[in-house]
Amino acid sequence: MTQPAIVMPMNDPDGTMFAHLEKLTPLLKTIFVKALVGIPATTYHRQPDYMAWLEAEPFFDVFRLDTDPPVGEYFAALYRYAAQKSAPDLLLHLCFIDRLAFALETDYREQMTEDIRSLTVGDMPLVFARTEKAWETHPSNYREIEDMITRTG
């Protein structure tokens, strides 16, 4: 099985999640063939050191946006970019860095890694959704916001 690629929106103007990404990169390289990372303008300009690191690291394919578009437009542009830059049979794992960090920096690491590595093109499309139990750990407005974003695209 060919390693999948990870596609990550990275709207992080304060640099909070970049430290997690930097820490996880060696592990990500063992799970994914590449990482396509979408960077909105504000994040790009406010995090020059992290941008230099991302752009110098061959594992990352940085999709730099010239603006800070609404979330639906941002995600659509990133996913379109990822599809255009990838072979048709390459699995694209769409994931937020905060969720990835939670899974890979906790006891869920082994299960998450195993789940990703076990997927094949024949299994697609596969969309992960939160269970009711998972939602119990989040404030109720998170679910409402995520549902709205999912519907918006």
pLDDT tens for residues 131-144? 777 777 778 887 88
- Phi, then psi, of 7 in degrees rounded to 5: -120, 120
Nearest Cα to Cα of residue 9 among 86, 64, 58: 64
Model pTM score: 0.75
pLDDT value at residue 56 = 97
Between 61 and 110, residue with greater pLDDT: 61
Q: Where are the alpha helices (DSSP H) in 32-139?
A: 41-46, 48-56, 71-84, 97-104, 109-118, 132-135
Q: Percent of the chain at pLDDT above 70?
A: 90
